[in-house]
């Protein structure tokens, strides 16, 4: 059972309704995570705006979803693991690529470097060193892309924490966690 109310878009304030309508337009439904975050219009605007901004960034959607499943598994977030597996498949990733990403791995060396860096950020709480940043740059990522990898991690920490802290019911096809936080 969720620990926080899930906002009904039909029975809420105009600002919440407007944002939830945008989300419904993008997904065809309003995922439960957004209904939980809608308790705060400011938080919902922040989250939805971040998804939009990063979606228009340099990091391809497929890599963004691979980062998301790696971070979700590391943080034991069943909701995000399920959601981003589904979104990763829509972004062109194979089931095998998403399974590898869940373990922080990839057959593609550049993707593998991004996933290693993303998980270092999580594990070290941002306290990475110059060599860690240099390693992801040496794999072929620009400064802009390295910052976006960090932004993807930060957004996923936000979503992981929402779903875990508030026990948001998963409304995507379930994926089994491999590692607990």
Among 87, 12, 97, CA closest to 54: 87
Clarify whether residues 84 and 146 are in a common domain. yes
pLDDT at residue 181 tops 70: no
Residue 1 lies in a domain: no
Clarify whether residues 153 and 71 are in a common domain. yes
Residue 11 banded pLDDT, cuts 50, 70, 90: very high
Clarify whether residues 41 and 100 are in a common domain. no
Residue 40 lies in a domain: yes
CATH number of the domain within which 140 lies: 1.20.1290.10
Clarify whether residues 37 and 123 are in a common domain. no
pLDDT at residue 1 tops 90: no
Helices 78-90 and 95-102, packing angle to 10 deg? 150
Clarify whether residues 124 and 140 are in a common domain. yes
pLDDT at 134: 98
Residue 9 lies in a domain: no
With beta carbons less than 8 A apart as the criterion, state whether 149 and 65 touch.
no
Clarify whether residues 47 and 75 are in a common domain. no
Clarify whether residues 93 and 157 are in a common domain. yes
The whole domain housing 44 covers: 14-55
Among 90, 170, 46, CA closest to 54: 46
pLDDT at residue 120 tops 60: yes
Number of domains in the chain: 2
Work out the average pLDDT over 18-30: 96
pLDDT tens for 58-109 read: 999 999 999 999 999 999 999 999 999 999 999 999 999 999 999 999 999 9
pLDDT at 47: 98
Which percentage of the chain shows pLDDT scores above 70? 99
pLDDT tens for 156-172 read: 999 999 999 999 999 99
């Amino acid at each position: 059972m969720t620990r926080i109310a899930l906002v009904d878009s039909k029975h809420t304030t105009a600002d919440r309704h407007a944002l939830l309508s945008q989300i419904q337009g993008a997904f065809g439904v309003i995922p439960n995570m957004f209904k939980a975050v809608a308790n705060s219009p400011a938080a919902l605007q922040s989250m939805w705006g971040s998804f939009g901004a990063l979606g228009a960034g340099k990091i391809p959607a497929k890599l963004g979803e691979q980062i998301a499943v790696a971070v979700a598994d590391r943080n034991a977030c069943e909701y995000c693991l399920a959601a981003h597996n589904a979104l990763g498949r829509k972004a062109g990733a194979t089931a095998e690529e998403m399974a590898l990403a869940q373990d922080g791995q990839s057959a593609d060396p550049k993707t593998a470097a991004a996933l290693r860096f993303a998980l270092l950020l999580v594990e070290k709480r941002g306290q990475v060193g110059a060599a860690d940043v240099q390693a992801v740059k040496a794999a072929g990522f620009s400064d802009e892309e390295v910052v976006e990898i960090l932004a993807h991690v930060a957004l996923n920490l936000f979503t992981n924490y929402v779903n875990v802290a508030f026990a948001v019911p998963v409304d995507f096809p379930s994926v089994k966690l491999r590692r607990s936080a």
